[in-house]
Amino acid sequence: MNNKVITFGEIMLRLATPGYLRFSQATAYEATFGGGEANVAVSLANYGIPVDFVTRIPDNDIARACRMDLRKYGVGTDKIINGGERLGIYFLETGAVSRGSKVVYDRTHSSISGIKPGMIDWDKVFEGATWFHWTGITPAISQGAADVCLEGILKANKLGVTVSCDLNYRKNLWKYGKKAGEVMPELVAGTDIVLGNEEDAAMVLGIHPEGVDVTGGHVDGAAYESVSKQIMARFPRVKKVITTLRGSLNANHNSWAGVLWDGSKLFESRTYQITHIVDRVGGGDSFMGGLIYGLLTYKNDDQKALNFAVAASCLKHTIPGDFNQVSVDEVEKLMAGDTSGRVAR
């Protein structure tokens, strides 16, 4: 069976200060590319899943370099459309210990912000596809981006393509006059698999845990079960709700786990202690990429799919850049309990 996946969203030029330098110290920046849905696409390509990334980028040398970068990782780029004047940029300052990382966006008037319904031929995009992934970042960019995202979701629903989303609430992006709560529910209504955390559910859907105190620092499974049940009750199409569990001891040391609710049972992963984080940007996207792979590959084994997602994203924290450049063998080795990090030769 063909497991081709389509992801849709914005990709940006990432300019990161070298090492742990602050913006005020940097005299040069490390240039790579990244963005939620593109990050998911690269993960899937690494795992051998056929995947196309769909977006709108300008016709210039920076955008061409971006296309080349995606193709290098095996991501299909022939459904990307040209238009607009600029690729969005984000600047990254990597934190250390008690100093958190910082991101500064420079993405106003980017090419995808000017996208409009009818620009993407969704029938052509979905030829041979079985899965469509979007995130809450895209509808936050502009009304046009929200409209095209909905256009894709509705077409996927019509064609019987599974739809997944990462709720990904970004308060600094919702600037075009609409709030997340006004736009997102209609999109989530057409979605089968939902990833988020309790903050995403609260800010995007207005859903809070019932009868559970989440202010004490520790959030137990009952809170996620409550949120998941409410999401499924409000959005009958949703079949699974997955939550990432990040505990931040400091900028370099996080705990990392996940839970999955399938409508009747709560699956929980083991908890990893990531003690020396190299780069946590793209951690959630690497989780989503691992989850999609797991759900496509380990049929009817939600526990294994969840375990794969958590292990894959744990490994991402060791890799500079947005993209999770790991293999299935490396993820399964970690799933099996090998955390030694010994030289392979």
For 146-160, how does the pLDDT look when each residue is reduced to its tens digit (9 = 90+)? 999 999 999 999 999
Distances in Å between the alpha carbon of 43 and those of 118, 152, 315, 318, 321?
Answer: 29, 21, 12, 14, 13
| pLDDT tens-digit readout, 262-317 | 999 999 999 899 889 898 888 889 999 999 999 999 998 999 999 999 999 999 99
pLDDT bin (cut points 50, 70, 90) of residue 344 is: low
Mean pLDDT taken over the chain? 92
The pair of structure tokens assigned to 264 is 């009747």
- Kindly tell me if the per-residue pLDDT of 319 is higher than 60: yes
Higher local confidence (pLDDT), 292 or 173: 292
Structural domain boundaries in the chain:
4-335
Q: Give the three-class secondary structure for 23.
A: coil
The pair of structure tokens assigned to 120 is 């993407």
**Residue 193: CB partners within 8 Å, gap ≥ 6?**
162, 163, 164, 165, 238, 239, 240, 242, 291, 295
pLDDT bin (cut points 50, 70, 90) of residue 255 is: confident
Q: What is the pLDDT of residue 223?
A: 79
User: Across the beta sheet with 102-106, what order do the strands follow?
Assistant: 30-34, 12-16, 89-93, 102-106
| pLDDT tens-digit readout, 81-136 | 999 999 999 999 999 999 989 999 999 999 999 999 999 999 999 999 999 999 99
Higher local confidence (pLDDT), 209 or 167: 167
Q: What is the pLDDT of residue 157?
A: 98
Asked if 282 and 39 count as a contact pair (C-beta separation under 8 A), the reply is: yes
Asked if 133 and 5 count as a contact pair (C-beta separation under 8 A), the reply is: yes
| pLDDT tens-digit readout, 53-64 | 999 999 999 999
- DSSP class of residue 44 equals H
Distances in Å between the alpha carbon of 286 and those of 89, 192, 279, 311?
Answer: 20, 19, 12, 10
Report how far residue 311's alpha carbon sits from residue 290's, in angstroms, rounded to the nearest whole number: 8
3-state secondary structure 137-189: CHHHHCHHHHHHHHHHHHHHHHHCCEEEEECCCCCCCCCCCCCHHHHHHHHHC
Q: What is the pLDDT of residue 190?
A: 98
Report how far residue 64's alpha carbon sits from residue 284's, in angstroms, rounded to the nearest whole number: 26
Asked if 66 and 11 count as a contact pair (C-beta separation under 8 A), the reply is: yes
Report how far residue 120's alpha carbon sits from residue 151's, in angstroms, rounded to the nearest whole number: 9
Q: What is the pLDDT of residue 199?
A: 84
pLDDT bin (cut points 50, 70, 90) of residue 343 is: low
Q: What is the mean predicted confidence (pLDDT) over 214-234?
A: 76
Residue 116, CB half-sphere, CA atoms under 13 Å: how many? 3
Asked if 168 and 199 count as a contact pair (C-beta separation under 8 A), the reply is: no
Q: What is the pLDDT of residue 128?
A: 96
H helices within 73-105, ranges in order?
Answer: none
Q: What is the pLDDT of residue 171?
A: 86
- Output the DSSP codes for 211-240: S----SS---HHHHHHHHHHHHHH-TT--E
Distances in Å between the alpha carbon of 343 and those of 272, 337, 339?
Answer: 21, 16, 12
pLDDT bin (cut points 50, 70, 90) of residue 17 is: very high
- Give the total residue count for the chain: 345
- Kindly tell me if the per-residue pLDDT of 210 is higher than 80: no
Q: What is the pLDDT of residue 221?
A: 65
Question: Which one of 3.40.50.300, 3.40.630.30, 3.40.1190.20, 3.30.450.40 gives the CATH number of domain 4-335?
Answer: 3.40.1190.20
What's the pTM?
0.93
- Kindly tell me if the per-residue pLDDT of 212 is higher than 60: no
Asked if 241 and 228 count as a contact pair (C-beta separation under 8 A), the reply is: yes
Strands 89-93 and 81-82: unpaired
